[in-house]
Structures are given as C-alpha cells and as structure tokens.
Structure 1
Amino acid sequence: MSATSQALRGYATNAASTRSDRRAEYEIIARVTQELRDRAVKQKSDFPAFVEALHNNQRLWTALVVDVADIKNPLPKELKARIVYLAEFTANHSRQVLKKKASVMPLLEINMAVLRGLKKEGPVT
C-alpha cells in the first residue's frame, strides 16, 4: 500500500476494506473538499472550523506529495511534478486565504479537478 493510501485512509472513518485505493482516494478527497466548501460558507461565523478545514486540505496535499515522492509510485514523472506543484500552490494559497487576502475558490477548483481526473480514468470502484 502506498504512503498516500495509508495517509488518506486516516481521514476515512468507515472505509470498507474491499474498496480500491483509487476509490478510497476519491472518497477522501471528496470529503475534504466538501468539508472545505461547507466551512468556507460559514467562515465569518465559525472561522476556527474554516481554519481546520484548510488544515485538513493541506494534510491531504502533503500526503499526496509524500506518495508521489515514493520511488515505487508508478505515476509518470510529469504527473508527479504537477502534483508537487499543486501542493506547493495549495500551501501558499492557503496562507493567503488565512490572511484574508485570497479566496478559497482556487483550492476547491483544484480539488474538484483532481476528482474529475480520478473519475475520468474509469469507474471509481
């Protein structure tokens, strides 16, 4: 099992053991994205919960980078490089969001693009 799969499974509360790693990744990214979206809407009334959601999103991207850095990861080098770039962007942009100098929307859009990519590769089962 890859480092990402292990790290991402930590987010899952009731992940069934019969799910594929890709399905688990999809569900975890979807859950983190939904949490971030929901808490962004209420950030003025519950900023600590919004900060927690941003932190969870950052943990997700850190886990993805750890996974692509693994020499055993079979993804193409170009895709690995894109994931590292997106993780760096996510970290930098999250800091701007916390300073209230940027919108959370780009972070949500990136996560949604990853979800579309996971779906595009075939059924997520």
Structure 2
Amino acid sequence: MISTSLAQSAYNAAATPVRTDRGTEYAAFQKVTALLNKARRPEASMVERAEALDKNRKLWAIIAGDIAGADNKLPQSLRAQLFYLAEFSLLQSSKALKEADALDSLVDVNTAVMRGLSGQGATT
C-alpha cells in the first residue's frame, strides 16, 4: 500500500507541466485578477477586497523590482511602461480600499498584461 502511494506521488510530480517564465507570470496575474474579480462582486466583503488588493500590490511590487534590476533583458521602453503600470496599480490599490469601483481599472490593467504575456497584444 505504501509503495503504491509512493509510486503515485512520484509519477504525479513528473506529470506536472513545466512552465516558462512567461507562463509563470501569466499564472500569477491570472490568480490575482481572479481574486480582484471576486472582490468586485456586490456581496464581497471588505476582507476579500483587502486580501485581493494585498496580493495585487505584492505582485506589482515584485514586477517593479524585477524590471528595475540591471540584469533585466526587456527593452528599456517596455520596462518604463511596465514600471508606470506598477506605480499606477499600487496607487489605484490604495484608492480601491475606499472605492470598490477602482477595482475595475486594476482588473483592466492586469488583463492587458495577461494578453501581452500570452502573445495576444493589446486590442483596439
């Protein structure tokens, strides 16, 4: 019995898909954006909103730190745009604690970043 469960756990680990950096970033944005969407519901509690905003702030703080690093390989113009989005998201997160409608723009920004990460680019 124990050997069977050990074998299953070994094969389960091998079945886990390998993610690229882009895929990992996409998954992080997807998870945080889902939390923000849940927090936008009329019945969402302030705790749900605060937790979603905290996760969004942490994600954008990581992104800002990464793009500010000297070893970042992204083009300078893209780094500047992403840094601007990070600043906006951090400020908008504070606003969203007081005004639930401010969550909409955070979801929009994260969704646009996810489109970029998936190769879809911006839509007009």
Aligned residue number for residue 79 of structure 2: 80
Gap change, CA 1:75 and 1:45, over 3 Å in 2: closer
Cα distance, 1:121 vs. partner? 6.7
Gaps of 5+ in 1: 1-15
Find the aligned partners of 1:34 and 1:100 in 2 and give their Cα distance: 18
Cα distance, 1:71 vs. partner? 0.9
Does residue 53 of the first structure (1) align with residue 52 of the second (2)? yes
Report the TM-score when normalising by structure 1: 0.77
Q: Which amino acid aligns with 1:74?
A: K
Any idea what the Cα deviations from partners look like across 1:87-107, whole Å, max 9, x if unmatched? 111111111111227521000
Gap change, CA 1:82 and 1:74, over 3 Å in 2: same
Any idea what the Cα deviations from partners look like across 1:12-36, whole Å, max 9, x if unmatched? xxxx572111111111110110111
Report the TM-score when normalising by structure 2: 0.77
Does residue 33 of the first structure (1) align with residue 33 of the second (2)? yes
- Judge conservation of contact 1:97–1:103 (CA < 8 Å) in 2: yes
Gaps of 5+ in 2: 1-15
**Percent of residue pairs identical:** 35
Find the aligned partners of 2:101 and 2:39 in 1 and give their Cα distance: 16
CA-atom RMSD in angstroms: 2.0
Whose radius of gyration is greater, 1 or 2? Answer: 2
Q: Within 5 Å, which residues of 2 pair with 1:1-125?
A: 16=16, 18-42=18-42, 44-100=43-99, 102-120=101-119
- Judge conservation of contact 1:65–1:84 (CA < 8 Å) in 2: yes
Structure with larger RCO (C-alpha < 8 A, sep 6+) = 1
Q: Which amino acid aligns with 1:33?
A: T
Higher helix share: 2
- Judge conservation of contact 2:66–2:72 (CA < 8 Å) in 1: yes
Gap change, CA 1:20 and 1:93, over 3 Å in 2: same
Find the aligned partners of 2:50 and 2:93 in 1 and give their Cα distance: 9
Greater mean alpha carbon deviation, residues 94-103 or residues 31-40: 94-103
Aligned length: 106
